[in-house]
Structure 1
């Protein structure tokens, strides 16, 4: 939905508790006691017709009798009374409500759905934002607000926790209290009829009190909203997620799934989605908090190589073992580091390798000096300093020495002080200094690996995609025509020749194939194709002809084809007498000696839409189970990533007896399939198996495509909006130069860097409201070029230079609020192109786009001295007004209802 009115939910100045009571077992009493005990400073107004006072506060008989309109209402009334309560709250002007919603258990699925619909129709979000029903409530410790049914409260902190599970909400609460962890927010979502993960991610993504966000996710409802919000939030701060995984269906059961309306989905799809959004998935609650602690520090790691410093040999070995098992690497020590440690400890007094095993009685000075040498060693991506307690050992002194040596250090250093007693004091020293600290080597190493994985996901989020190895221009009209004709005949699947025609239309090499309904036609087809050929049975009851001996290869003469058809029919009749035989498929033999057998497929997931799968192919595909999944749209970088997650990717790189396969061609095939399922949304499933791959490229031997009627645009099915090619257009400047106006792409990074470099100092100052450095790093340019087309738009003007190379001439940006109520714009044209009319063209395109997507208001800011920008805005109907907060700025506002295009 949006963040609209969520401030009334999470930053209320007044709270009403509807259905309050003096029954200590009732939700209305528990919430009142929690709010009052928490010390919330605003007025708390219980509504009850049964008691004069609750928790020491006078009650009011109804919502309309409240002395003031509450920002937030906590509704604890019986579920059947909730619609009337929401109606009364809306009349009063309340903007947010938490519905505890006891009573669902006694309702049928249809009854519960009906009451949810009724509540929504009355509340009309975002007029009233609804958390729940069936919510445990939430806490905002910085406001001393505990509007929940929780049995305890937590201290303020920088971590937010959003849970789909009430039980895990309570579990995390206990864990945090025991560990002394504080929270900025704790939220139990309940049934999510309005406020969802996406809404709260949008809200917390810009919350200054929240440094990291933790999620417990069982299922999501709107994949695109979730992905957009998660990607936006994870660009600002760490987002960590825990999900039960493969056992979730068994644990939830059919009743839970019916209640939430969620289907059963592959856990790997969620894993892919989390990774594509730049989030980090962890395995358990301990990992959730350990990773949050590590990621909240300003220090980062940029790889998986760890140096381990310890005064206990076995503890160091345990840490090293956990590192290697988890996919990390032991950092090699440089010669300079080894010599330096020799000078501190003596050549025979330490391991002279990683783990750096120093004497058990090493004091704080020795620890500190060795640690400084490890920090200087560039071979490692992080250091783990461990301490094993020994009799009369200075645990606290060593901890203080390490703390002092890290005051101005930017490298990632983790600590693990084993034991209790003084070890607990040492860990407290580290916590107070914001140095990650853990009780066991396993926890510390896992936290390091989590951080390495998180930063890898972040790099994937902003990685500059490789350019396509070759442009491909699919014959979309041909593909759509094939599908349309098949649908017109009532079919749900294409024939193999039709499927291969579609693949060929999208540039994927295929083996030529014909269909025959008899042995005679099979011979005619083989003669036309040329020998040798392969002959395969066609029967809807036998999806895999190999199972009944229905495939013959290398048939080299008409007689062999005739005899082969007869033998296939005989075997099928014997093995599957119930099967209806449609005929045969005849195809030319695909001769690719030594080629790898791969498979590429696509299917529709009920939540995430189209999902692509790549991996080992051939007859043994199901037995080998070497597949990786991903979500479209794909770039070359993302295609390489999904290929790398399969075991067969190692073989594709080449072996002593095989040259490397053409990885670019494999990746291009994935991109072509990704584009196909967007362009032809009537396709519901694709399966290419086997797909031969070798140094010469790829060749599809077999292909199946399922189809179904579909109305609408193909991109609407995707969890991530693809590049909107339909927004491209060509214009002509006053000079006669041909220019393309189109949405920006991640591949535009280098040309966009050159564009910014060509702006004058004055244009840069006016665009960025002050003096800026001319050097933009990769993260900056990635933020400009890698945008979420659902929320942002950047139209660039691009043209070819005299040498035929692309260059960027100008850009118009809009950034739209999640609820589409308002968009903010910015525009800049290359300094040497002023007067060509390009600024007006870009401005008009941005306004037209904003109008067509239904945005209500388009706004912008510019410096008071920028008269050219103000004049251009007036030309398009903007109102110009002084900024109320800064006398050096002016606001430009356009009511889109007044725009007539």
Structure 2
């Protein structure tokens, strides 16, 4: 949906409680007590016919009798009364409602669908935004607002928590109170008939009071909305998520997951979706807050090498063991560091290795001097300082000394003060100074590894992909023709030759294959494709013919093919007399000695759409279980990352007896398969097993494709919108130069860097409303080139320069609100290209695209002195008016309904 009117939910000036009561066990009483106890400064208006006053506040008999229109209505009445209440609220002009009343859980699916449709038909979101039904409500501590059924309140903080589970809401609340953690928001979404994870992520992603966002997710309803919102939010601040599916902490051990329509989805698909969105998945509530504490610091971790400083040998070993088992590494100490620590402690008084084990009675000065030396050593990505209590050495004194020595340090330093009592005072010293602190080495190391994983996911969001081959031109029409013919014959799967023809149409090397209905036809097919051949049984009841001896290899003569066919039929008749025999598959022997057997496949998930699988292949695929998943669209970089997540990737890099395989060819195959399932959405399943891979490239020995009717565009199935090739267009400038107008791609990073460098100082000043530095770094350029095509668009004008290399001449950008009501534009053309009509072409391209996607308004800002921009916008029908907040700026507004399509 959008963030429209969410401010009335989370920043209300007045609240009405519908269904308030004096029954202490009733939701209407609990929420009234919580709101009044929290100290909310706005008017609180209970609606009830049961009592004259509730929680010391006079009641009102109905919504229409309220003295003023409430921004927020907390509805505690039974669900069957809600439609009438929503109708009354809408007439009064209320914009936000939380539905807490009972009844939804006990309804059948049909009853739920009916009440949902009725409520939404009346509320017409975003006219009224609705949380719930079956919600515990929410808290906004900065407003002193506790509009929830929670048994306690929390302090203000910088962390937001959004939960799909009522029990997790209460559990996290207890945990946070015990740990002294504050929140900017705590929100229980309930059954999500309107406000969803996507809406909240969009809202909190730009909320200045929220530094990090934590989610408890069981299921997602709209994958593309969720992915767009999550990617946008995680670019601004850390987003952490828990989802059942992995081994959970005992805190969650008794949680019984509620049945949801899409809970059957593979957890691995959610896992890869979270990773692609730049989010960090954690295992349990402890991990959630440990990670949030570390990610909330300005210090960052760019690797998994950790240095450990401790006064306890066993504690250091425990920390090192947790680090190594979690995939981290002990940072090697440089010789200079070892000699320097010798000078501080003496050779005989410390471990002279990592973990750095110093004397148990080391004081604050010794700790600080050793820590400073470790900070200077660049072999580590972070440092963990631990302290085991000792009677003669005050914990707090050591903590204060370390705090003072870290005031201007930018390296990641974590602390773990073991014990209770005095150790808690020491941890308070670190918390007050913004230094991550934990009560055990396990928690500290886990937080370090989480941060390393999070920053790796963030790097994936801004990683520049390798360029795709320029000669990849798939025969899409030929592939579609094969599928259409099979669908007309009412088939649900393709023959192996048909499947291989489609794979070949997309550039995937395949072994030549023929279909034969008899041994005689098998001999004819073998003669045509050449010997030696493989002969395989074809039967719908025997998906794996090898199991019944239905596969013969290296048949080198017509006689052996004839005899082989007869022997296969005899064995099959004996072992599977029930099976219907369709004939044989005759296949050219693919000789690739020493090649690795891989598998590449694609399935369609009911929520996230197409999913690409890669891993170990061959007959042992199901036994070895070495598979990794990802979501299309893919680039070479994303394909390589998929390959690296499998165990077999280590072998693919080469062994003493085998050269490394052509990884680029494997990645290209993954991209080709990804493009195929987008271009031909009637394909529901693809499986290539085995896919031979060696130094010479890849070869598909087998191919299976299932199909089903599908109406619509293939890209609509994807959770992440792919590059919109259909928007590419060739134009000619006044000078006769041929230029391509197309959406920007991640691969355009370097040419875009050159484009920005070639803009004049005046162009940059007018584009960015002031003087800007020219040293755009990788993160800046990635933000320009790696966009979410579902929400952003950047049309670039590109052409070949004198050397035949591509160059960018101009760019037109639009950024659309999630609800598609408005898009903001910006445009800039290189100074030496002005006067050739390029600006008008880009502007027209952006306006037509905005019209095509149904956006209501296109707006922009420019400096009042930029008369050229204002003149160009007037040419296209924009209305120019002064900016109400800045006299140096003007606004340009275009009503898209007035634009001719």
Q: CA deviation at 1:262?
A: 2.0
Q: CA deviation at 1:108?
A: 2.1
Distance 1:471 1:160 in 2: 48
**Aligned partner of residue 293 in structure 1, secondary structure:** helix
Give RMSD over aligned pairs: 1.2
User: What aligned pairs does 1:705-744 form with structure 2 within 5 A after superposition?
Assistant: 705-744=705-744
Q: Paired residue for 2:464?
A: 464
Q: CA deviation at 1:250?
A: 12
User: What aligned pairs does 1:390-429 form with structure 2 within 5 A after superposition?
Assistant: 390-429=390-429
Q: CA deviation at 1:523?
A: 0.5
Distance 2:394 2:469 in 1: 61
Distance 1:392 1:149 in 2: 49
* Number of corresponding residues: 898
Pick closer, same or farther for the CA change 1:339–1:469 going to 2, 3 Å: farther
Distance 1:412 1:263 in 2: 38
**Aligned partner of residue 710 in structure 1, secondary structure:** coil
Q: Paired residue for 1:500?
A: 500
Q: CA deviation at 1:253?
A: 7.5
Q: Deviations over 1:696-724 (max 9, x none)?
A: 00000000000011000000000000000
Q: CA deviation at 1:422?
A: 1.0
Contact 2:825–2:858, Cα closer than 8 Å, also in 1: yes
Distance 1:108 1:236 in 2: 41
Distance 2:253 2:701 in 1: 39
Q: Paired residue for 1:812?
A: 812
Q: Deviations over 1:649-696 (max 9, x none)?
A: 011000011011000000000000000000000000000000000000
**Aligned partner of residue 25 in structure 1, secondary structure:** coil
User: What aligned pairs does 1:473-872 form with structure 2 within 5 A after superposition?
Assistant: 473-872=473-872
Distance 2:707 2:108 in 1: 35
Distance 2:104 2:783 in 1: 45
Query: Are 2:108 and 1:102 equivalent residues in the alignment?
Result: no
Q: Paired residue for 2:361?
A: 361
Contact 1:367–1:402, Cα closer than 8 Å, also in 2: yes
Distance 1:577 1:252 in 2: 49
**Aligned partner of residue 706 in structure 1, secondary structure:** strand
Q: Paired residue for 2:295?
A: 295
Contact 1:469–1:664, Cα closer than 8 Å, also in 2: no
Q: CA deviation at 1:327?
A: 0.5
Distance 1:19 1:618 in 2: 63
Q: CA deviation at 1:245?
A: 0.8
Q: Paired residue for 1:185?
A: 185
Contact 2:139–2:145, Cα closer than 8 Å, also in 1: yes
Contact 2:516–2:525, Cα closer than 8 Å, also in 1: yes
Contact 1:18–1:75, Cα closer than 8 Å, also in 2: yes
Q: Paired residue for 2:240?
A: 240
Distance 1:769 1:354 in 2: 51
**Aligned partner of residue 391 in structure 1, secondary structure:** coil
Q: Paired residue for 1:93?
A: 93
Contact 2:368–2:405, Cα closer than 8 Å, also in 1: yes
Pick closer, same or farther for the CA change 1:263–1:710 going to 2, 3 Å: farther
**Aligned partner of residue 671 in structure 2, secondary structure:** helix
Q: CA deviation at 1:106?
A: 3.1
Q: Paired residue for 1:158?
A: 158
Q: Deviations over 1:113-160 (max 9, x none)?
A: 211121111111111001000001000000000000000000000000
Distance 1:263 1:432 in 2: 42
**Aligned partner of residue 552 in structure 2, secondary structure:** strand
Q: CA deviation at 1:469?
A: 4.8
Distance 1:215 1:471 in 2: 43
Q: CA deviation at 1:421?
A: 1.2
**Aligned partner of residue 83 in structure 2, secondary structure:** helix
Q: CA deviation at 1:107?
A: 2.2
Distance 2:566 2:742 in 1: 58
Query: Are 2:5 and 1:34 equivalent residues in the alignment?
Result: no
Q: Deviations over 1:330-371 (max 9, x none)?
A: 111112211211121122211111111111111111111111
Q: Deviations over 1:612-663 (max 9, x none)?
A: 1000111111111111011000000000001001111011000011011000
Q: Deviations over 1:228-264 (max 9, x none)?
A: 000000000000001111579998889x33xx33241
Q: Paired residue for 1:276?
A: 276
**Aligned partner of residue 213 in structure 1, secondary structure:** strand
> Post-superposition, which runs of at least 4 consecutive aligned residues in structure 1 deviate over 6 A?
247-254
Q: Deviations over 1:270-320 (max 9, x none)?
A: 110000000000001000000000000000011000011111111011111
Q: Which moved more, 1:668-677 or 1:336-345?
A: 336-345
- Structure 1-normalised TM-score? 0.99
Distance 1:719 1:870 in 2: 38
Contact 2:246–2:283, Cα closer than 8 Å, also in 1: no
Query: Are 2:65 and 1:65 equivalent residues in the alignment?
Result: yes
Contact 2:27–2:101, Cα closer than 8 Å, also in 1: no
Q: CA deviation at 1:471?
A: 3.0
Contact 1:305–1:329, Cα closer than 8 Å, also in 2: yes
Contact 1:240–1:292, Cα closer than 8 Å, also in 2: yes
Q: CA deviation at 1:105?
A: 3.5
Distance 2:254 2:330 in 1: 39
Distance 2:880 2:254 in 1: 59
Contact 2:666–2:693, Cα closer than 8 Å, also in 1: yes
Q: CA deviation at 1:394?
A: 1.9
Q: Paired residue for 2:892?
A: 892
Q: CA deviation at 1:479?
A: 0.4
Q: CA deviation at 1:464?
A: 0.5
Pick closer, same or farther for the CA change 1:490–1:4 going to 2, 3 Å: same
Q: Which moved more, 1:386-395 or 1:461-470?
A: 461-470
Q: CA deviation at 1:104?
A: 2.4
Distance 2:93 2:65 in 1: 13
Distance 2:487 2:208 in 1: 54
Distance 2:51 2:811 in 1: 64
Q: Paired residue for 1:168?
A: 168
Query: Are 2:454 and 1:444 equivalent residues in the alignment?
Result: no
**Aligned partner of residue 215 in structure 2, secondary structure:** strand
Q: CA deviation at 1:755?
A: 0.3
- Structure 2-normalised TM-score? 0.99
Distance 2:528 2:280 in 1: 55
Q: Paired residue for 1:873?
A: 873
Contact 2:105–2:134, Cα closer than 8 Å, also in 1: no
Distance 1:81 1:725 in 2: 50
**Aligned partner of residue 30 in structure 1, secondary structure:** helix
Distance 2:111 2:712 in 1: 32
Contact 2:218–2:263, Cα closer than 8 Å, also in 1: no
Contact 1:653–1:661, Cα closer than 8 Å, also in 2: yes
Distance 2:530 2:256 in 1: 56
Distance 1:697 1:468 in 2: 16
**Aligned partner of residue 347 in structure 2, secondary structure:** coil
**Aligned partner of residue 241 in structure 1, secondary structure:** strand
Q: Paired residue for 1:201?
A: 201
Distance 2:267 2:519 in 1: 46
Q: CA deviation at 1:34?
A: 0.2
Distance 1:263 1:547 in 2: 34
Contact 2:294–2:447, Cα closer than 8 Å, also in 1: yes
Distance 1:325 1:146 in 2: 42
Distance 1:252 1:223 in 2: 25
Contact 1:386–1:417, Cα closer than 8 Å, also in 2: yes
Contact 1:263–1:606, Cα closer than 8 Å, also in 2: no
Distance 1:471 1:186 in 2: 52
Distance 1:865 1:791 in 2: 30
**Aligned partner of residue 104 in structure 1, secondary structure:** coil
Query: Are 2:206 and 1:227 equivalent residues in the alignment?
Result: no
Distance 1:69 1:295 in 2: 41
Contact 1:101–1:132, Cα closer than 8 Å, also in 2: no
Q: Paired residue for 2:262?
A: 262
Q: CA deviation at 1:14?
A: 0.4
Structure 2: 5+ residue runs without aligned partners? none
Distance 1:455 1:220 in 2: 24
Pick closer, same or farther for the CA change 1:813–1:470 going to 2, 3 Å: closer
Q: Paired residue for 1:431?
A: 431
Q: CA deviation at 1:404?
A: 0.7
